[in-house]
Structures are given as C-alpha cells and as structure tokens.
Amino acid sequence: MEDNEKHYGQPRWRYLKNVVYRHVGTGEIIIAGLRGDLEVNKTKLEHAIDAVGQLEEATDDDLIKLGTQRGYVHSWGHPARYIGDLSLTTVRNFIGGQKEDTPIRLMSLWARFHLLDVGRYCDGPRRLYCPQRPALD
C-alpha cells in the first residue's frame, strides 16, 4: 500500500486490497477484499465461512497456480472464492492496479464479492480502522 500511496498520491482507503488464503482441508483459495487502510481479521473470516482453524496465508506457489503473484491479485477471474468486507461498500470507486505507468483504474466492483464483516475496526459510529487497538477476536 505504501508504494501505491507514493506512486498515485492517494490515501490508503481509496485502494482495493486483496488478501489470499488457502483452506488447509480442501485446498480452496479464498480471496478477501477490503479497503487498503484495513486488515483482514482472520478469525472473523474463518467463522464467517465456517472454516475455523482451517485458513492459512496463501504461499507463492498457491499464487502461481492462480496465475498471479503478491501485489497483483485481481478481484475477478481467479478460480477462488471471493469474500468482501463490508468496507467495500464505503468507497464509490476504488483504485486498483499496480505502480506502473498506466492510468489509475477506478473500480466499483464490490458487488462481485460475497460481503461479510471480516475487517478489523474500532468501536464507534463510523467504524474506522484503529491500528493502535488490538482486534477483539
């Protein structure tokens, strides 16, 4: 995210972030999408998809099998299950793509995800991410 901020000059919340997990029992790939200023709460994700204790971070080999690499995971087209955090509904046009000499790609694609509450937030009416507070898992 830091590279994207530096390259495009936009705040992290404007970027779409995809985090990839592998179900250790089935091998299924799970792509969790959320705003770039947030982090996936793995415990909430596991409970949301009925996979408690079964998710681990995807390896580079897992990503190669998807036809991608770290930092280049798309929000469509991979043989994976897409889970989106509710934060996806708070941004009208996400910035996607990489730090190349290409125009910013604005995306309103959160409808492609199965939306669940899987992000780490603070308490309060705006539910902002609060990195100084530990998540309540």
Higher per-residue confidence, 101 vs 16: 16
Q: Is residue 90 part of a domain?
A: yes
Higher per-residue confidence, 137 vs 1: 1
Q: What percent of the chain has pLDDT over 70?
A: 72
Q: Which two tokens stand for residue 4?
A: 């994207």
Q: Is residue 122 part of a domain?
A: no
Average pLDDT rounded to a whole number, residues 71-97: 80
Q: Is residue 16 part of a domain?
A: yes
The CATH number covering residue 108 comes to 3.90.960.10
pLDDT at 51: 96
Reported as a pLDDT band with limits 50, 70 and 90, residue 112 is: low
Higher per-residue confidence, 127 vs 26: 26
pLDDT at 111: 53
pLDDT at 121: 55
Q: Is residue 137 part of a domain?
A: no
pLDDT at 101: 56
Q: Is residue 17 part of a domain?
A: yes
Domain count, the chain: 1
Residue with the two structure tokens 């492609």:
112
Q: What's this model's pTM, rounded to 2 decimal places?
A: 0.77
Q: Is residue 82 part of a domain?
A: yes
Q: Is residue 128 part of a domain?
A: no
User: Following DSSP, what letter does each residue of the chain receive, concatenated?
Assistant: -HHHHHHH---GGGBEEEEEEEETTT--EEEEEEETT--B-HHHHHHHTT-TT-EEEPPHHHHHHHT--TT---SSSSSSEEEEEGGGGG-SSEEES-SSSSPPEEE--GGGSEEE--B---SSTT----TTS----
Q: Is residue 47 part of a domain?
A: yes
**Residue 116: how many CB atoms within 10 A of its CB?**
16
Residue-range definition of the domain harbouring residue 70: 2-116
